Amino acid sequence: MGGVWSLRNLSISVPRAVLSGEGQSAVLQCSYDLEGAALYSIRWYRAEIEFYRYVPREMPPYMIFPLPGASVDLAQSDHQQVRIVNLNRRLSGDYQCEVSADAPLFHTDIRSAPLTVVDPPFRAPRITVAQRSYSRGDIIRANCTVDEAYPAPNITWILDDHKIAETISWRSSENDFKERGAFSHLELTLLENQQYQVGLTYTSAGLHRVYQDHAVYGQQNEDLNVVRYTLVPPDSSQFTLGCVATIFDIYARQSEPVYIKEDTPHPASVTGEDSSGAKITSSLVTSLWTMLLVQAL
């Protein structure tokens, strides 16, 4: 009977993440090819514990089992999918779909996929800075704090609407459903408008120059999760700083922006730079024109 099958191409589709709470739901789908054979049963498991069964020859064809923290929507569940409603974070984990063909082969196969039930933070992230004005050479120190959530959010630093750094938060283990907050510390050094030797990470008309010094990660280092950047301030001598908290692709919330400006605005540069990199001084050009006019008289 080699090569004789009645069940092929079994696959499972489970959302990577869904929000927790009343009215929130997740639709888990199972597709398969019985090659003309009859279906004997569909069984759904969460962490290897059965919570939904569909057997077409029985009446009624479905059977549900306790799923603490949620319930099965029978009206939206059948031999191809199961809909779970009102989930909480403790229902995060692996979900399995098991398909069995009917006689004579009773072929059975199973597939698994993870689902994370997200408890988002209650409030938007909050940003604090040690100072809201600067002089060239200063270091601006800023903190971004996010309330407890599951899983812990990631934090992205935003400077003048441009992403400059991201802190990846610690991820919970499979059996740990504890809510955790997130925290990131940024140190931003303000330079004169001069060439800086560390690699350029972003350049635009709005964000003059930002250079990444380093990000420190280590259990024994007192600078844990400190992100250090070096900035050549824009011509306006002011910029905004903010942070965004994200969890997968289903939650994103930004802090209120903080406006930072220079104590004494730096005089605008009188030098330009052509496409070949040669610098031209406007005062020198003016002097040359004056000399030419005098000679022509």
pLDDT at 227: 80
pLDDT at 286: 38
| CATH value at residue 178 | 2.60.40.10
- Domain with 73, as residue range(s), is 8-118
- Is the same domain home to 152 and 65? no
Split into its structural domains, the chain has a count of 2
Phi, psi (rounded to 5 degrees) for 225? 65, 25
HSE (CB half, 13 Å, CA atoms) of 95? 29
Assigned token pair, 102: 């009917």
3-state secondary structure 64-133: ECCCCCCEECHHHCCCCEEEEECCCHHHCEEEEEEEEECCCCCCEEEEEEEEEEEECCCCCCEEEECCCE
- Is the same domain home to 166 and 246? yes
pLDDT at 222: 46
pLDDT at 186: 87
- Is the same domain home to 20 and 138? no
Q: Quick check: is 14 in a domain?
A: yes
pLDDT at 179: 81
pLDDT at 55: 96
Q: Quick check: is 183 in a domain?
A: yes
pLDDT at 171: 52
pLDDT digits (tens, 9 = 90+) for 226-268: 788 887 877 788 889 999 999 999 999 999 999 998 887 655 5
Cα–Cα distance, 182 to 185 (Å, whole number): 11
pLDDT at 4: 52
* pTM of the predicted protein model: 0.73
Which residues of the chain are modeled with pLDDT < 50?
A: 1-2, 172-174, 195-222, 270-297
Residue at a domain's end among 89, 118, 147: 118
pLDDT at 268: 53
